Every structure is written in structure tokens, then in C-alpha cells.
Amino acid sequence: MLNKRKKEIGGFHKYLIPLLLCGVFLFFCGVRAQAQELPSISAQSAALLVADTGEFLFEKNAQQQRGMASTTKIMTSLLAVEESDPNRVITATEAMVRVEGTSIGLQAGDKITLRNLIYGMLLESGNDAANALAVHVAGSIEAFTALMNKEAKRLGCVDTNFV
């Protein structure tokens, strides 16, 4: 009986040290994780969330309203790809190329694929490319803006308003 008891204790001790070491390791990892400072973000606002749950992992002024900036171009790309063939050739009009800010250098009469307009808009921040896509998809900038707002609401972006 004593031999059997000794084997049981010996078997338990075989696992005791690794278990204790794992416990100590996990404890100090937890303490370290709590002691870490939040990341330093230079942006005025930022948010990192889990897409499946909507849980915020990090936020900085996440509820403060800001200008749309490149989000507008992302939505424009999304709608352009959904509404038209990326290989479709578009002829630029005067209304499409009349913009302020950055440009890919489109001129009225230029022929360019929808795909290349998207590249020019996203990679070069071409406002003329964005206008050309908007007019091609919806007929006018105003009609395209309404389409963008409708899509934003459909996607659940309830505080989003394109103008």
C-alpha cells in the first residue's frame, strides 16, 4: 500500500513544478500586460475594434466628428466597383476634371478604365479621378453623394454624412 501511495505522489510531483512555473509565468505576463501604457497615436482620433463583435480594443476621441478625408475615396471605390465593370473605358468630361486639390492630370476627352481611375484616386489621391467615377456611376456629383449616404446607412454607418 505504501508503494502505491508513493507512486501516486511521485506522479503528482512530476506535474507540480511545470504547473507552478506556468502559473508564475501567466501571473507575471498578466501583471506586465496591465502595466503597459496605451499606444501613442499621433492621429487626432483613432479606433481599433473587433469586427465580429464591435468591441473597442482601443479608442482615442472615437466619437468626435471629423472630416471624411480618404474615407470618401474608399466609399467611392466601393460603389464604383459594385456599379460598373472595372475594365469599362470612361471618357473624361469637363465636369469630371474640374476639381480643386490633388489630381492625376485628367483632361476632357481622355479615355481611361474605371480600374485606372480607382488606382489614380486611391494611390495618387486624385480628386479628378474621384469626380470621374462619381459622374460615371450616378450621373452627377450630387446624385453620387446621395448614393454614398444611402450605402453608408445600409452598412450601419449611422453617424456618417457625405456632402
Q: Tell me the pairing of strands 46-49 and 56-60.
A: antiparallel
- Please give the radius of gyration of the chain, using alpha carbons only, rounded to the nearest integer: 28
C-alpha cell at 143: 446624385
- 45 catalytically annotated: no
- 73 catalytically annotated: yes
Q: Which amino acid does the sequence have at 55? A: E
- The active-site residue out of 6, 45, 70, 153 is 70
- 125 catalytically annotated: yes
Catalytically annotated residues: 70, 73, 125
